[in-house]
Amino acid sequence: MVASPEPDRDCSLCLRLHDFIAEWRRREPSWFNAPVPTFLPPEGEDAVKLLIVGLAPGLRGANRTGRPFTGDYAGDLLYGTLIAHGLARGEFKARPDDGLELVQTAITNAVRCVPPENKPVGAEIATCRTFLVPTIARFSNLRAVLALGSIAHQSTVRALGGRVAAHPFKHGGQHQIGGIALFSSYHCSRYNTNTGVLTEAMFVNVFSEITAFLQA
């Protein structure tokens, strides 16, 4: 039996995350408050050549809106960069009905449920990899993965069947694992950009390398 790439809306594999979402369903019943599904291009999964893997939904971002990187600062930088590189079209207005469309790109998270304090624990990351593995496998024409941050990088390395020690995280790094090119970047969070860990130029450079790879 092939594992589903998307968890059930009431997935209870990680009790701490399940309970945290249940609490927010009571507090904010109009929010999405569920595992956030992978964002696909309108042409479907066969069109996907690049998969972007983030860490987890933000509480007032994707957990509220139901679309990865939508509703918080990280999405402004990510989607603006995608549009500039021809990997998305339309206008990003930080809401799921803004009409933005991905181009040959899909976006998911290593952990699909919002974690308390935005910090998933190791067991939750490992458990949610049971969804990341079939997510990667669903894209028959996938050529590259971009991992945002060290946790997403490490989980993606494992999902691709690689060893973390042999494929360490580095901003701007590139590895080949099982026929897939794995690119890595610091996460595009407000904290990283405010502290100078990640500049817009650094982020753009990573996408320039990815688009050049995909066009080769």
State pLDDT tens for residues 54-82: 999 999 999 999 999 999 889 999 999 99
110-145 pLDDT tens trace: 999 999 999 999 999 999 999 999 999 999 999 999
Any residues with CB less than 8 A from the CB of 52 and at least 6 apart, and which? 78, 105, 106, 107, 108, 145, 146, 148
Q: What is the pLDDT of residue 145?
A: 98
CA angle (77 as vertex; 21, 190 as ends), nearest 5:
60
- Written as one letter, the residue type at 182 is L
pLDDT at residue 32 tops 60: yes
Rg of the chain in Å (alpha carbons): 16
For the chain, what is the mean pLDDT?
Answer: 96
d(CA 34, CA 31): 9
pTM for the full model? Answer: 0.97
pLDDT at residue 16 tops 70: yes
pLDDT at residue 1 tops 50: no
pLDDT at residue 174 tops 60: yes
CATH topology of domain 15-215: Uracil-DNA Glycosylase, subunit E (3.40.470)
What's the average model confidence in pLDDT over 185-204? 96
Q: How far is CA 22 from the centre of its chain?
A: 23
Q: What is the pLDDT of residue 216?
A: 87
What's the average model confidence in pLDDT over 146-174? 98
pLDDT at residue 193 tops 90: yes
Residue with the two structure tokens 């968890």? 7
The domain ranges of the chain are 15-215
- Written as one letter, the residue type at 51 is L
Q: What is the pLDDT of residue 2?
A: 47
